[in-house]
Structure 1
Amino acid sequence: MAGIGQEREAEQTGQPRLPAAAAAWGGEAFEPTLRDELHSLGDALMPLLQAGLGAGGIVTGGPEQVMILSSRLDEEGRIVVRVGVFYRSLIAGCSCADDPAPVEPLEEYCELELAIHRVDGRTSFRPST
């Protein structure tokens, strides 16, 4: 069971929690539960998505689709998951009438690695290599 100190630390650092996914680990509900919780994070993932941009210059929102690529337990007992995230971006222009930048959103994709603590769902994210 997580201590109060750990909960406060996670709240202070803004570390997201995926408690339902942690609870569903090992069962058929894990993947859909993880996808739902990742979608619910919305804008919290934007800095990582921004770092993964390939076509545009600015992320337009949270993930549109999440694909689970792999999952396993690491030596510390955390659930390590590699996910593919589909999202959209825009090329930021000058908003001038004759600006040639496309206004249509661009499709983006990046891969992230999550480490989910099984006890309390605290989750760290990093770009997948």
Structure 2
Amino acid sequence: MSGIRFSKDHEWVKVDGDVATIGISPYAQEQLGDVVFVDLPAIGKKVEKGKELAVVESVKAASEVYAPVSGEVVEVNDALGDAPGTVNEDALGKGWFAKVKMSNKAELDGLMDDAAYKTFCANSH
């Protein structure tokens, strides 16, 4: 399974083995505006699909980032502490939030591929 998958809450997941890298979609960061702060989870934190993983604050609002998969946080993007704007500049790359060792890979089946996500975004206005 290659490529990026998306949740209905506008998070993305890129899987490498049993580790999922998670961030927010370009659509989400556009809606938020300029990101000024990211509150990342602690390494070792157990996360549940659909529950809060992180918080992102922008000039417009603070928003929860929900875990699109369940598991344990194994790495966080500490660079966002000094450069939260990276989320705006490279949402699908350097703007990732956390890496989670998945406890249930079957949860990936409920996520959308790029084409389905674009349709979802176009219809959610």
TM-score (norm 2): 0.32
> Whose Rg is larger?
1
Q: Bigger relative contact order, structure 1 or 2, given CA contacts below 8 A and separation 6+?
A: 2
TM-score (norm 1): 0.32
Q: Return the structure number with greater helix share.
A: 1
Q: Return the structure number with greater strand share.
A: 2
